[in-house]
Each structure stands twice: as structure tokens, then as C-alpha cells.
Structure 1
Amino acid sequence: MAPQEPAREAPPPPLHGVVAALIDEQGLISHCTPSLAELLGRTAADLTGTPARGLLHARRPARSGDPSGGAPGGRVMPLRHRSGRPVDVWVRLYPLSGTTAVLALGLTMEALSAWSDESALGRALLTQQAWQIAIHGPDLRVRRASPAVARAGRPSAGGDDPLCDMPSIEGGGTGADLLRQVMETGTPEVAASAVLCAPRPGARDRLYSMTAAALHDFLGRPDGAISSLIDVTERYRSMRQLDLVYRASHSIGGSLNVERTAQDLVELLAPALGDLAAVEISEAALRGGEPPSTVQGLRGDFRRVAVKHTHGPWPANQLQAGELLPHIADQPGFRRLERGEVLVAENPHEYAAFLGGDPGSARMIPDGMHASIGAALVARGRVLGYVQVYRTRQPYSFDGQDAKLLKEIVTRAALGMDNARRYTQEHRMAVMLQNSLLPPVSGSTAAVETAGVYLSAEGDAGVGGDWFDAVSLSSLRTALVVGDVIGHGLGATATMARLRTAVQTLSDLDLGPDELLARLDDLVHRMAEEAEHPDTVGASCLYAVYDPVSRRCCLASAGHPAPVVVLPDGTTRSIDITSGPTLGVGGMPFEVTEVELPPGSVLALFSDGFIEATSTPGGGDDLHGRLRDACRPGRTLHGMGRELTAPVRAAPHPARDDVTLLLARTRTIPAAHMADWRFQPEPTAVAHARELVRDRLRQWNLEEALFSTELIVSELVTNAIRYAQGPVGLRLIRDRVLICEVTDSSDSQPRLRRAQTTDEGGRGLFLVAQVATRWGSRYGMSGKTIWTEQALAPAESH
């Protein structure tokens, strides 16, 4: 709407600027108007009775015609001003009936020029052929019009004007509303867009740029309006097409999410093409799988994922977002859609016929639908889904240009969706790979109960290189591991997989934390040498081993944050460990820190990403407070982990680094479930050891394990006395399994071998391996320990 104009001055009255004189039979001026006397600098009395020819200027002859293109039939005469200067006046003589007297009427050149311009403007507008000009009376009927008005089927004079029924595109209303507003306010309307609907079905609607201004009579009273219509159909459509294609290239395909891309598509199409828009996607495409190459009817395998209604919420009686499409039998139109064609329906009946008339398809036809247009989302020969656009309030149909525009947009959207689908497929494989590499979120052993949390820095759409682990070791011990590989993405995940596998392998060797990190450091160093960019390969790691028998925890760190322990009484403290260099630096030893943890203590191991993402001003003290609040009595470890990572989950954006947290609640083995003896290296010690073991197993009601345990003890104690120096230790531990440990001072590694028929020995470990579930050896500060495990029935393990 144009801004309000200032108050308009009233137009000059009719015959404004006209001068007149009455010339009698003798050529004398008998009467004159005061305006003539004023024009010549005289009075009426001075002019009365003077010869009319005496008013002509002697030095300038009279000019016939009108050089400015004014009214014909007169001439321009130079009259003499009282001062002697000439005054040009256009004069026309009118004879009076019954006498030779004449009436002379004249116009000044200024008035003649203004009359000539206004008359020429009116004639030019009303006779030109290019666009439609019409003068409307107060009743909006046409009084006068240009030839183009009649050619457009509108009345050139009188009659009802179709312009009055033209709906406006921008602000609603019709052409009649706009003309009345112009006449009431006096404010012109410039380039308002309106639609002249086609007079018959199948014909093409036309778009016009409409300009209107109010008309006033000579007294300044409203007297109608003038309207101008210019056909801008092609220009409007071209501009809209360019605009939509530009917006489509910037707004569609930017997300690697199929549903988000579908929503971006409907947001673009409504209201650009219609009032309602909907997108249906194949169930396979939503899962990241391969969509079909052809569709033999709809059988619940397509889901509506995005809808948009320009004028309010999506209608409740329509198929909603998230619902499956109804069963629709195969239609010939499906083949056309799969070939990339766009299908247009001129009315609801035609659209219903395309859907096959199935009762369930009624929920796909909006109330008041005038027309619909649809296309298939086809990319790389696969049918990802369908797009539908409906017009309900817009009363004009879709045409070929709309179809070309929709096909252009849908083609771009289909490629974006297919990229999102393929990304979803690859991402799910990557996440599946990483999840397969990580341990279960929660676990339970005789030593600890554990719960872990891992949040990628790229949110649900990413994978990284952080990991945690809980590895069961010999003699009911458990190793707790947290690591952080440099970088993100699949490369970091692959490095993490190699390191986690190496940690598990080295853990099975029962290496101490310091020696295990040293071996792991060598591995990372070799990996860096193999990499194209060695500086991008590295990791930090914390390795801890908790023994539920001694309740002691041994820890070593390779550049990783120190863990925090929450004691049973609620107090917290950081474990003061001496951190070594990050893995891959090489050449530096790692130190072991040993602490005693009461049963029920919660040990928190985490990455630096956890500290950064959850910390507030206050740093470590704040971390201790949050751990103390989360580890309230009665809380599960899983609940503690979710509470501690809640700030990361609630943040609007993913954390800058992967967030990893491992919580472990310590347990202990009751003293009644253990037995510990020491023997001097004498042959009688073997029989004494068997006797003590028999008594203890009877006390534990484990008579079924007597034979196998006596055999294990006999062989291991005998070997220790035969090959070792100094006392021999024997320990039994009863839990879910029965553990037997024999410790001696020898550093020799026991080996399992098959004895030959003629060999006198070498069968001891072979027999032990046959009766034990697992067996192995580990080294201590001095000497070694050979251990075995035997499975117990559930009733015996309590």
C-alpha cells in the first residue's frame, strides 16, 4: 500500500483562464471580460469602444494554427500590453446570428499548453493498444476504456467488469475491494498483484499487475477511479521459478537427515505452490536401507513424514505426519511418476481416481481442494517417496510451468534425501561398529559393579575415539580402563578399536598397569610411524586394577585425568597419581599408584571431555560436589551416570569433545570365603596341603570339587617345591567359581606340553588344564603365582 498522500488541491474550474470580447459591426470592442483587461494591463473602460485591430501588436504578425498542438480552428495572435510588449493569446472568433458582430474567445499560452497536455494524455491512454486502461464510475462500472479492455473480454462501456472479481495475491480481497479503497482514501494503489481466473476449466489463469487511482470532478468530489492492468504472468512465473529454485538450492539438502530434508521441502512448497504440502518416504529409506526401484502399489511401506498447512494446523481429518499411507492398489500413474513425470489433478474426483478409489485414500484428499500436483522422489533409480501439493484457498489450477518447477525442486530434494539416506546407512554401520567395540553399558563382577556413558562430540550423528572398558582378570580382579584417542570420526574409531583390543590382550597376560601402558605406548608409536600424518596419532589412557580380596587398587596413567573416588561416607577425593606422557611419546616410564578402597566406594574414571562439558566456574571442587550429589545412597550407577551427564544431553549443541564416564562400585570377598596357607619347601608339604584343602572344601560344602581340587593342589605344590626356592603359598577363594592359587619365588614361566610315552614327568599342567575351567600365571614383585578356576553350581557359589 502506497503511503498516504498530502491533501489534494481542488482542480481549476471549467473555462479557467478564458478571456473574451464582443466586437460589434464597426470592429469596435463593445464588451470584454475583466480577465482580458487584466491580461493587457488595462481596465475594461479603456478597452470599450476601441478598435479590436488596435489591440494587435504591430511588430509581430498573427500566427495561424497552434504550434503546440492545441485546439484547431483558431490562431495565436500577439496582443499589445499596456507596456508595449506582446502577449500571445490563442483566439477563436464565433459569429453571432443575425448580425456581423463576433464573439472572440481566447486562452493564454500557459492555459492552452496545460489543456493540450491533459487532453493528449487522456487520448494516449484511452487509445493505446498495449495494456488495459479503464475509467470506472462510482458504481465501478466502466465509463470509458482502451481497446485492450475489450480484447480481454471486459466491457468497454457499461456492464459488469471481471476485474471486480479478480482475487488479490498479496493481501486478500478482490479488485472491487481495491477500487473502493482507492476511491474512499484517495490513495493510489501501485502494482498490486491479482489473478484473473480462467473462464473455463483447463484454460490458463492470468496474473496481472494492477494500478489504480481515484478520479475527481471539477468541484473536487470523488467521481470514480482509473485502473490499469498489465499482464505479468510470464514475468511473475519466471521470477517465482528463479526464486524457488534459488531457495531450494540453499534450504534443501543441507541436512543429513531424511525427515529434516522432507520438512524443509514442505516449508518451501507451501505457500510457494499451494496451500498444503505433504511428503511420504519409504520405510526402507527412513532406516537408511535401499528403497525400491519400482512400486507395485502401496502396502504400508511408505510413511508420511512432513506436512505443512499455510493457513493453520494440519487438518485433523487428514493423514497425519508419522502415519503409514493406506493400502492402494497398483496404478498406471505410479509408472509415470517413477519415470519422473509430474501428475496434475484438476479436481478432487480426478485425484481420487488416481488413488484408485480406496476408502482409506479419502484421508489424502483435503477438504475444498481445487487442484493437486504430485511427483515422486526418485534418485539413482530408486523411489524414495512422494510429494503432494494441494490448492484449497487458491482457486486456480496448476499448469505446465508449475509442473516444471516442481520437478526441478523435487529432483534437488531427492538427491539431498538420498545423500541423507546413504549417510544414515553409513552412520548406522559406523555406530554399530563402535558399539560392538565398546563393552556393555553396565556390568557386574565379583570385584565391581560398573556403568559407563559415552557421548560423541558429534551428537547422535557421529562416532569418536573415546572408550571405556571393564576386563575380568584372574583371581576375581577387574581392570578398569578409560582412553581418549586424538581426533574424531571413523579414523579415531579404528585407532580406538586397535588400542582396546591390545589392552584386552595385554590384560590377559596379567601385566601390571605400568608395564601394560609401556607395551601400549610402543604400539601407538608404531601406529604413528605407519600413519600418513604421525602427529595425528596419539591417545591418553588410565588403567586401574582392583582386587576384591585385598581391596587394593593399582593405577597408572598415560596423560589422562586422575580419577575421583566417592567413599561410602559420602566424602570425595581425587586419587593422587603421577601421570606419565600420553601414548606414542615413548622413552618414559609409567608409575603405579596403589590405594585401598573400602567396599561400596564409587570410583569415577572420565575423559577430559567430561570435565570440560560438565564443569562450571569452580573447576575440580565443582566436580567433587556433583559426584557427591549424584552418588547418594540407594542410587544405581546407571542413574548416577545419567545425572552427571545431564548437562551434556540438555545442551542445545553437542560438546566440543567426546564425553566418557565409567563408574565402578567396589566389592570385597568375605573372609569366610578365603583360605590362605604357607608351606616350607618339604615333600611332606604336599600331603599337608591336600588335607587342609579337603577340610576347607567340606566346610564350604564343596565335596563334589574335592577330587579335582586335590589333584590341582598336588600338582602345583609339587612343582613349586621341586623347582622353586623358599616357602610356597596356597590360597583358595570361593565365589561364583573356586579359585586355587599357588605362589612361589621362581620366575620361570610354566608351559603346557604333551608328554611322550617314555617321559617320566611333564604331565602335571596337562592334568590341571583338563580339570580346571581356566588357568594361568602372573608375576608379582618377586616370584609368580599359578592360578586355576573351577566352575561351581549356582547353589555352591553362595
Structure 2
Amino acid sequence: MGVWGLPYGDGVADGVVDPFDFATAALVMVDAAGLIECWSAEAEKLLGYSSADVLGHPASAVLDSQDGLAALVEGRLVADSWEGRISVRHHGGHSVELGLRVRALRVPCGRGGWIAALCSAAALQRWELGQATMQGLLTQSPIGIAVLDTQLRCEWCNEALATMEGLPAEESAAVPERHRGGLPAIERQAGRALATGEVLSAVEHEAPQPGVTGQVNAEHLRLRTSFPLRARTGATLGVCQTAMDFIDRERDKGRRRLVLVNEAGERIGTTLELGRTVEELAEVLVPQFADFVAVDLVDGVRPPEDLATRPRKGQGGLYRAAHLSIRSDDPEAVVAIGAPTHYPAQSPQSRCLATGLSVRDADVSASTAWLDGDPLRLDAFRRIGVHSHMVVPLRARGVTAGVVTMLRWENPDAFDEDDQLLVEELSGRAAVCVDNARRFAREHSAALALQTSLLPPALPDLSAVEVAYRYLPADAEAGVGGDWFDVIPLSGARVALVVGDVVGHGIHAAASMGRLRAAVQTLADMDLPPEELLTHVDDLVLRLSEEAEAASDGVVIGATCVYAVYDPIGRKLSVARAGHPSPGLAHQSEPVEILDVPAGPPLGLGGFPFESVEFDVEEGSVMALFTDGLIEASDHDVDAGLERLCFALAHPDRPLEEICDTMVRTLLPDRPRDDVACLVVRTRGLDCDRVATWDIPSTPSSVAEARSEVVAQLARWNLDDIAFTTELIVSELVTNAMKHAHGPIGLRLIHDRTLICEVSDASNTSPRLRRARSSDEGGRGLFLVAQLAQRWGTRYTTPGKTIWTEQPLPARAHDVTRAATAE
């Protein structure tokens, strides 16, 4: 318990809690006849009488007093309430000084009575003293006090704070609506106190304001403190802020430097952007410390995104990173931000950079020597009257990153040793922030370069689809993510469309994305169905997670993915997804829809099945596959994002690039907080006259008949140049199917940008390429097929398997095919 019973620590004191509160006071209820009806346990402790001793007895007999309750019972108190002090005899025989508060009871039935609350006189005195102290602190003390609610709206402030903040005197007791929420100096610190729950204090510098009535024309240092206000239940009610001014009539440099150091700690290094960090240093120094500040950084510290445009001459020199002046006609404007700055060998800047030591006027033979003899700059600084300058190195972790040049002309004082020590302290802090920003920028640039190198440099030109895409990396603060996309050609003129998103940001996410993209490409080449492919990728992510856990590096591996296969011959789309948003599809004749595909678990959980769904897609439809960053932007929820996506896809006849631009413009803010990858695809169909199909009976003459049919079909397609090689391939594949497989045999030729030959049977036994020995009678057929075809492979289907080959078209036929596809 503190002075006068006021609380400190976690205790509850009589000076704060009303002693007549029903939760703590002794309560006595008296009926209209003056008989005691109720006697609380606190009353028993206070006066020594048990309830059995007093219930039903006259109050005047029990409370043997000549005033207070006895007077009330005897009818001498006319008012409905009374409060004061009384002297009552204790059950033990001694007198007790009590505080008493009496209220009359009015009930509809006509019965009346009184309820009395009693407490010790000492507790009442402590409470009254505490109330008087708090009242005096709020209304008479020079300490400014404001009360803000949880929305940082100023609900009340006293006259002292109203004077400090410039509110009219008549508006100090209750802040009117036009001023509520309009006191930024109060809100800045109060917001942090409300968010952290901590007591925050800061020293602020207030410049003199001559001409304000009643204000001393001197500088002020204001100590401002904010702390959260909490109810007895622990709930946060708001924030209380106190402020006290200290008038610095003699321009105490020590206190002003303390303010500058405090301000620098709060304002320098708020972001990890290199350019903004040096700007913050300049803003702290001007005008409080210097009239002009220029920050020149070593060329190697330049942000990575500027390295491509960095001039080759002067590498290793300095470039202007930031400057600030008190003048509107900036004399330093002759040096542009980002431009190289050339200083002579004996200039303060060169000497500071070479030695790592600060240079002041006393160390320089001519105060304008650093101007490098430029008459424009020299005339400008002579005209404004520069009388003092100082150069301080930006040095952190043993490396000098640049120099800070400061000038004074309005400030009459020359830079002294104390000023040099102060700026060296501030520059040291800024240099650490600059080095952190440089390291972060380098890591972000490396992650972005890694991610970009792992994404497809260009998408393939296919007959099945027309494709456009957008990839937007997150801003520098969020870090590079692991979004990716891919368009993978499959056998039979089909195409696989992939969009995925790796959990997390940074180099680890980019590297994991590259591994998953390579795995998906490999599995896609095996012609696995979408649900099986996602199952294998899920196993891979589980293994990667186990490796990360074993390495104890704290990296979490997880991903989402959507995988779709489109067949331009049957106009079929098969889609499966693993915790990823479903694609959007814009039909030619129906409204835009979000495809109903079972969500499936995210990759890396393991043990859960995936399911694919097949859709009929008309030619010319537009489909969008995307990551969640596109629809979960900061300014809208997912449902609103999907609605805007459908709006962007509403006209599928537009160019795909225009559709992509509309999606980005409609759904994304200027600086997305997450990576965004979207793939927009227009489906095409392969005409039936470009596909030939035969059923091959299992008879000895079928092989010759198949060769004849193929040669005739190639003649109709003007592909006689490759008829011989195609005839050999068909002969070998059909013969192998008859010899080693069973069931019906099918043959299909597809005239696409390559000639595709497919032989299907009902066996799921895969052929194996091997090198036949010189004594073997067979085993060379598949080797011959591999030599004649550009690509070959096997894919498994529900009935069995299909062996396929691709042959390049003759140059003339290839040009005709490309032209027909473009149309």
C-alpha cells in the first residue's frame, strides 16, 4: 500500500475502491418500524454482533448512537438519503468511528424502510483523500491528461493538455466531435501502447511559437507517456496519455540532442528499403541539426535493381542516395538522386571515405573545397552564406558504406566536437540500417533471380491451346514466394496446365518451388492421370518435409497445386486440385463458372486421396488457373475476389493479354502482399479430318492392310515424304501388339504440328527398349522405332495402354500446319 492508502503494484486499495460499494461495505436493512431485517457478515465483523443477536431488534438499540441511523429510525431525518460519520458502540463495549451512507427504500406495496452501508472512518478518509488527489491531478496539475477509447478517439482531456495541443479553452473538458480523433501527436504513441499493452514514454521537441498569447517564446521538451486503461475484469477500455512540458530558455543543447537521438531511434530504419533508410536519416537531421544534408553511398551498396543501369565508369566511387535542404530552391539539385558524385582526392569526402574518420571545418583548409571547383555549386553556396560544414562516415560492421555531408547557414552555430559525436552516433545507427537493407535487398534479389530462373522462360506454342500468363512477385517486405505455373505438352496432342503455390517466402520457398515444378514435369511425361500425379507429388513433399525436420532448420514445406489435362480431339478437360483454388471457365454460350472440383488436401499432409473431374469444353472457351494471391488481395475477401475474376473473364472473345491485364487491374492492389501467378488459356479443337482411326483385327494380313491404310492417309494429308518411315513404325508397333498383347488393337494417326502415331491394346504390360545381341533373332523393333521417331512413349488408359510416337513434319507441311492453327 502506498502513501495515503493509494495502491501500487497489483493490489486494490481503499483509496480507489468506494468504501460504500456493496461488494465490500457492511450492509444493514431496517424496515419502516425501525427493526433490523438484514445484517451482513461484514457488519458482524465491523461491530461484533451476529445476525442472531440483532435480527428483529430495533436498530436504535443495536446502533447506540445519538445521530445517524438512530436519528433516522426516530424519524428525525426527513430526506431520502444521508451520508456522514457516526460513532457506534461495538459489541465489545468500546466506541467505533464509522462512515455511514443511508438510502430510503420505496416499494409499491407501501412497505418502506432503509438500507445502510457502513465502513470504517479510516477507510472513508483514505478514499476521500484519494478522490481529492485524483481530482486535483486531472484539473489543477500542469500535467496534461487525455483519455482515448479503443478506436483512439479522444473522449476527454484536461485544460493543461488542451493548451498544449492548441484546443480552445472552452473545449477542454469534453472534446467535441470535430476534434475527436484529430490529435495526431496523441494518437501516434497511444496506438502503440494500445497494441503492445506496455507503458511507453518519449521525449518530444516542440519549437517555439511566438505570437501565441500566454506562451513563452522558448523551446520545449515534452515528456509524453501512454498506458492502457483496463477494467477490473481485465478488459481494455482505452488509453490514458500524460504530457509535461519542460521549457528550455537557454537552448540547452544536451536536451535537444537527447530528443534528436530519441527521434532517430524511432524514425531511422522503419523499412528495409535502402533508399528510404537514407532519406529517413536526412529527415532527422534537417532542420533540427543541419540546414542541408547529402548522403552519398559507395557504388557497390546500390540496390540490386539499379545494378543494370549503373554506369560502368566510376565503379567503386560514390553516388547520391539522398539529400534534403531547408531551402525551396535546393542548391544541391545540381546532383540528381542516383547520379555519381565526384570529389577531388583532398576533399573532406574522399578523406573521410579513405580513413573512416569524420572531418570538420577545423580540419579543412577551405570550406568550399569539397565543391570540386564547380562554379555553379560554388556560387550557390556562397550566395546562401554557408559558414560551417562537416562530413561523417556511414560505417557499420567494419565497412564504410558512404559519407554524410552537413552544411549550416541559417543556424548561426558552427559544428563543434559535441555535434560531431552526436552525428557519428546517428550515422552509426543509420549505417547499421543501411547494411541491413543492403543485405535484405541482396537476399531478396537472389531469391527473385532464383525463382525467375526456375519459372518457364517461354511457354510452348501448341495447337491445343492459346496461352497468356502473368507472374507478379510480392513486394520486398513480404519476400519472394513460391508460386509457379507451367504448360506441358503431352502425347496425343494433349496439354497439361499447372499452377502451384509453395508455403512461405524467401530462397527456401523458391528452391522448393523449383523441385516441385521439376517433379510435376517428370510425372507429366509419364502420362499419369491428374489424381495419380498429385498423389506422387504429395509423397515428394512429405519427403522434403522429413528432410527439413531432420535438418532442424525450421523450414516448413507445404504447397497447393491444380493440375489439368486438356484433350483437343475429344474437347475434354480433366482437373484435380490439392488445396488450391478451382479454375474459372468462361464458356462461349453460358455464364462464367468456377469449376466444381473436389478440393483435396494441400500437398504434404499425406494419406488422403485426390479426385479428378472431367468436363466437356467447347472450342474457344477461356480458362483461368491462378494462385490464391489473385483473389485474396488485402482490399476484398475471397468471395468478392472470385466475383471479380468472373467479371474479368466475362468476354472470352477478347485477346488473352487484354484479359490478363483486366484481371490484374481489377483484382490486385498496387503492391500485392503475396506472389500472384495466373495462367489464362483459350481452348482449341483438332478437326476430325486431321485424325484417322482404325481397328486392327488380329490376323496375319492385318499388318499389311494397316500399312496400306496409313500410306493412303498420308497421301491425303500431303505427307508422302514421311510415308516410308511411318509405314515402318506402324508395322513394328502393330506387330508387337499382336505378338505380345491381347484384346482389340487400335491405330490412330494425328496430323498436328508433328505426326503422331498411336497403337492401343488391352494389355498393361509396358514395352522395354533393350539392345539386342548379334545372335538374337528379335528385340530390335522398338529400337528401330526409337531411331525413326522424334519422341516415343507409353501411357496407360482404363482399357489398357497406348504406345505413341511423334515424327517431325516436312518443312513445307509444317508451315501449312502452323498457318492453319493460327487461323
TM-score (norm 1): 0.65
Partner of 2:260: 244
Partner of 2:687: 670
Q: Does 1:778 align with 2:804?
A: no
Q: Equivalent of 1:708, from 725, 730, 739? A: 725
Report the Cα distance in structure 1 between the residues aligned to 2:406 and 2:590, rounded to whole angstroms: 62
Pair member with larger Rg = 1
**Residue 623 to residue 424, structure 1, CA distance change in 2 (3 Å):** same
Report the Cα distance in structure 1 between the residues aligned to 2:592 and 2:602, rounded to whole angstroms: 26
Q: Equivalent of 1:604, from 624, 629, 642? A: 624
Partner of 1:284: 300
**Residue 499 to residue 188, structure 1, CA distance change in 2 (3 Å):** closer
1:510 partner amino acid: D
Q: Does the residue aligned with 2:813 lie in a helix, a strand or coil?
A: coil
1:502 partner amino acid: A
Partner of 1:563: 583
**Residue 366 to residue 762, structure 1, CA distance change in 2 (3 Å):** farther
Alpha-carbon distance, 1:359 to partner: 6.2
**Residue 579 to residue 345, structure 1, CA distance change in 2 (3 Å):** same
Report the Cα distance in structure 2 between the residues aligned to 1:391 and 1:431, rounded to whole angstroms: 43
Q: Does 1:353 align with 2:369?
A: yes
- Range with bigger deviation, 251-260 or 355-364: 355-364
Give deviations 1:150-172, integer Å, cap 9, x for gaps.
xxxxxxxxxxxxxxxxxxx9669
Report the Cα distance in structure 2 between the residues aligned to 1:323 and 1:692, rounded to whole angstroms: 73
**Residue 788 to residue 672, structure 1, CA distance change in 2 (3 Å):** same
Contact 1:455 1:659 in 2 (8 A): yes
Partner of 1:586: 606
Partner of 1:340: 356
Alpha-carbon distance, 1:282 to partner: 3.1
Alpha-carbon distance, 1:374 to partner: 1.8
Report the Cα distance in structure 2 between the residues aligned to 1:710 and 1:462, rounded to whole angstroms: 56
Report the Cα distance in structure 2 between the residues aligned to 1:506 and 1:370, rounded to whole angstroms: 73
Partner of 1:546: 566
Contact 2:630 2:668 in 1 (8 A): no
Give deviations 1:276-307, integer Å, cap 9, x for gaps.
2222223321234999xxxxx96795332322
Report the Cα distance in structure 1 between the residues aligned to 2:613 and 2:454, rounded to whole angstroms: 28
Contact 2:388 2:408 in 1 (8 A): yes
Alpha-carbon distance, 1:658 to partner: 4.5
- Count of paired positions: 576
**Residue 336 to residue 324, structure 1, CA distance change in 2 (3 Å):** closer
Q: Equivalent of 1:694, from 684, 708, 711? A: 711
Report the Cα distance in structure 1 between the residues aligned to 2:667 and 2:594, rounded to whole angstroms: 22
5 Å-filtered alignment, 1:304-453, equals: 304-312=320-328, 314-315=330-331, 318-326=334-342, 328=344, 334-345=350-361, 350-357=366-373, 365=381, 367-368=383-384, 369-440=386-457, 444-453=461-470
Q: Equivalent of 1:575, from 581, 595, 607? A: 595
Give deviations 1:85-111, integer Å, cap 9, x for gaps.
xxxxxxxxxxxxxxxxxxxxxxxxxxx
**Residue 245 to residue 775, structure 1, CA distance change in 2 (3 Å):** same
Alpha-carbon distance, 1:680 to partner: 0.8
Q: Equivalent of 1:514, from 531, 534, 538? A: 531
Report the Cα distance in structure 2 between the residues aligned to 1:524 and 1:191, rounded to whole angstroms: 69
Alpha-carbon distance, 1:672 to partner: 2.9
Contact 2:632 2:638 in 1 (8 A): no
Q: Does the residue aligned with 1:462 lie in a helix, a strand or coil?
A: coil
**Residue 316 to residue 410, structure 1, CA distance change in 2 (3 Å):** closer
Report the Cα distance in structure 2 between the residues aligned to 1:618 and 1:526, rounded to whole angstroms: 31
- Name the Cα RMSD after superposition: 3.7
Q: Does the residue aligned with 1:238 lie in a helix, a strand or coil?
A: helix
Partner of 1:619: 639
**Residue 327 to residue 596, structure 1, CA distance change in 2 (3 Å):** farther
Alpha-carbon distance, 1:720 to partner: 1.2
Report the Cα distance in structure 2 between the residues aligned to 1:548 and 1:315, rounded to whole angstroms: 67
Q: Does 1:764 align with 2:781?
A: yes
Q: Equivalent of 1:275, from 291, 298, 319? A: 291
Report the Cα distance in structure 2 between the residues aligned to 1:322 and 1:237, rounded to whole angstroms: 35
Q: Does 1:646 align with 2:665?
A: yes
Contact 1:337 1:343 in 2 (8 A): no
Q: Does the residue aligned with 1:748 lie in a helix, a strand or coil?
A: coil
Contact 2:631 2:638 in 1 (8 A): no
Alpha-carbon distance, 1:669 to partner: 1.8
Partner of 2:804: 787
Q: Does the residue aligned with 1:390 lie in a helix, a strand or coil?
A: strand
**Residue 626 to residue 189, structure 1, CA distance change in 2 (3 Å):** closer
Contact 2:371 2:378 in 1 (8 A): no
Alpha-carbon distance, 1:756 to partner: 0.4
Q: Does the residue aligned with 2:323 lie in a helix, a strand or coil?
A: strand
Q: Does the residue aligned with 2:633 lie in a helix, a strand or coil?
A: helix
Report the Cα distance in structure 2 between the residues aligned to 1:519 and 1:687, rounded to whole angstroms: 42
Contact 1:513 1:545 in 2 (8 A): yes
Q: Does 1:259 align with 2:278?
A: no
Contact 2:282 2:294 in 1 (8 A): yes
2:655 partner amino acid: T
Contact 2:530 2:563 in 1 (8 A): yes
Q: Equivalent of 1:747, from 764, 769, 785? A: 764
Q: Does the residue aligned with 2:334 lie in a helix, a strand or coil?
A: coil
Give deviations 1:424-463, integer Å, cap 9, x for gaps.
1111111111222223476542222233334456557512
Gaps of 5+ in 1: 1-168, 173-177, 195-229, 292-296
Report the Cα distance in structure 1 between the residues aligned to 2:355 and 2:306, rounded to whole angstroms: 18
Contact 2:721 2:810 in 1 (8 A): no
Partner of 1:464: 481
**Residue 193 to residue 494, structure 1, CA distance change in 2 (3 Å):** closer
Report the Cα distance in structure 2 between the residues aligned to 1:608 and 1:445, rounded to whole angstroms: 27
Alpha-carbon distance, 1:488 to partner: 3.7
Report the Cα distance in structure 1 between the residues aligned to 2:628 and 2:567, rounded to whole angstroms: 26
Report the Cα distance in structure 1 between the residues aligned to 2:727 and 2:544, rounded to whole angstroms: 48
Partner of 2:175: none
**Residue 614 to residue 481, structure 1, CA distance change in 2 (3 Å):** farther
Give deviations 1:179-201, integer Å, cap 9, x for gaps.
xx9xxx9x99857479xxxxxxx
Identity among equivalent positions (%) equals 44
Alpha-carbon distance, 1:668 to partner: 1.8
Report the Cα distance in structure 2 between the residues aligned to 1:698 and 1:707, rounded to whole angstroms: 12
Contact 2:648 2:663 in 1 (8 A): no
Alpha-carbon distance, 1:795 to partner: 3.3
Q: Does the residue aligned with 2:271 lie in a helix, a strand or coil?
A: coil
Q: Does 1:632 align with 2:651?
A: yes
Report the Cα distance in structure 1 between the residues aligned to 2:497 and 2:709, rounded to whole angstroms: 35
Report the Cα distance in structure 1 between the residues aligned to 2:325 and 2:254, rounded to whole angstroms: 25
Contact 1:318 1:363 in 2 (8 A): no
Report the Cα distance in structure 1 between the residues aligned to 2:268 and 2:334, rounded to whole angstroms: 25
Partner of 1:723: 740
